[in-house]
Structure 1
Amino acid sequence: MEIAGVYLAAGKSSRMGRNKLTLPIGTKFLGSMALETAIHASFTKIYCIVTESDDLNWMTPSQLEHPKCVILRCPDAHKGQSESLRCGILQAKRDEMSAALILLADMPFVTVQMLEEMIACMKEQNDCSFVATSIKEMITPPVLVSNTLFDELLTIHGDIGARRLLEKRIQSGKLIPCKDERFVFDIDTPEDYDHFKVNSCQGSDSNV
């Protein structure tokens, strides 16, 4: 089973007031952290969805040169997250991937173990259309979708995202409760960033 990572890194960062991807965390940039985790997971390819103007300075040299990483510039990223998602799913369809795992660049605490658990679940359950992380039974990224959903995902627009579609398909999907809500903590505001830095300084190694 060939599985692609779809790394959504083309957001507007409007609530942060500056580009989230380039926020420094020690010697790293925020945007590079979940990508490094994805590189260590068993993806065939990782589609990094970025804006047309992104200079990619948030990525490490090794990430830029990594054979798994494919940079996809989304000309319509400003229209909403679903445009970036469609960009990645379309490439996964073209590459005849069996499934695609959707990751957000502003969720730096996602772990390799989480991703591998989702991949293993889909491999074990052939009739499963998706595997999603959940908090109190609510779907949250990361989400792994079978190629049977690719065409439907390509019909969404704006800021709708995949959640609404997956909720309609809940009977054919699998939810994996998140063991620690910190793992799916996303950085949207300056306050989130301050909280993130405090947790990082306490020695978190959850992204490896």
Structure 2
Amino acid sequence: MKIIGIYLAAGNSTRMGTHKLALPVGTMSLGSLALETALNSPLDEIFVITKDIDDTEWIPSHMKSNAKCTIIQCPTSNEGQSESLRCGIQHAQERHADGVLVMLADQPFITVQMLSEMITCMSEKPDCRFVATTSKQVTMPPVLFSAYMYPELLKLRGDKGARAILKGDFLQQGKLLNCNDKRLVFDVDTVKDYETLKAFNKGNE
């Protein structure tokens, strides 16, 4: 089973007021934290979706040169997250991927264990349409979709993310993995979030 990671990194960082993926966290950048996790996971490839191919200084050179990493520019990313998602899926289809694991570049605490568990769940149950993360009964990224779901994902428009289709009948066609540690799905959107991340990182140095 070939699973490709779609690493969504084309956001405008509106709430942060600056390019958040380039913000320093210890010796790394915010955006490189989850990317490192993805590269160390069982994912076959990772597509980093960005709005500008030249705006990737936050990605360390050793990650850019990793054979699993491909940087893809999405020229329509300003029209909403669905554009970046669609861009990634179209490239995944060209690689004949059996599934895509959608990740957000601003979720720094995602672990290899989380991603591995999702991939294992789908590989053990071929008819599973998706494997999603839930915390306090809220579905959120990362989410793994089988190729069966590509047509539905490609229908999304505007700023609707992948979880927009995880409702109604579709919820009965996949598996939900409960995340008891809400820190693991913590995303950095604001200056306060960033300060929380830095404080946690400093405490673990």
Q: TM-score range by the shorter chain?
A: over 0.9
Alpha-carbon RMSD across the aligned residues, in angstroms, is 1.0
Structure 2's unaligned 5+ residue stretches are none
1:41 corresponding residue in structure 2: 41
Deviation (angstroms), 1:53: 5.5
Distance 2:134 2:115 in 1: 13
Q: Is residue 203 of structure 2 the alignment partner of residue 202 of structure 1?
A: yes
The corresponding residue for 2:3 is 3
Which 4+ residue blocks in structure 1 deviate beyond 2 angstroms? 52-55
Aligned counterpart, 2:69: 69
TM-score (norm 2): 0.97
Number of residue equivalences: 204
Pairs within 5 Å for 1:1-208: 1-52=1-52, 54-168=54-168, 169-203=170-204
Give 1:178 shift.
Answer: 0.7
Q: Counterpart of 1:27 in structure 2: which amino acid? A: T
Q: Indicate conservation of the 8 Å contact 2:53/2:71, yes or no.
A: no
TM-score normalised to structure 1 length: 0.95
Is contact 1:137–1:175 with CA below 8 Å preserved after alignment? no
**What CA distance in whole angstroms lies between the structure 2 residues aligned with 1:164 and 1:46?**
22
TM superposition shift of 1:54: 4.0
Render the CA deviation track for 1:126-185: whole Å, top value 9, x for unaligned: 111000000122210000000000111111111111112122300001000013110110
CA distance in 2, matches of 1:121, 1:107: 21
Partners of 2:54 and 2:157 lie apart in 1 by: 22
Task: Kindly state the Cα deviation for residue 55 of structure 1 after the two structures are TM-superposed.
Answer: 2.5
- What is the one-letter code of the residue matched to 1:167? K
Q: Give the Cα separation in 1 of the matches to 2:14 and 2:54.
A: 16
Q: Which runs of 5+ in 1 are unaligned?
A: none
**Displacement of 1:33 after TM fit?**
0.6
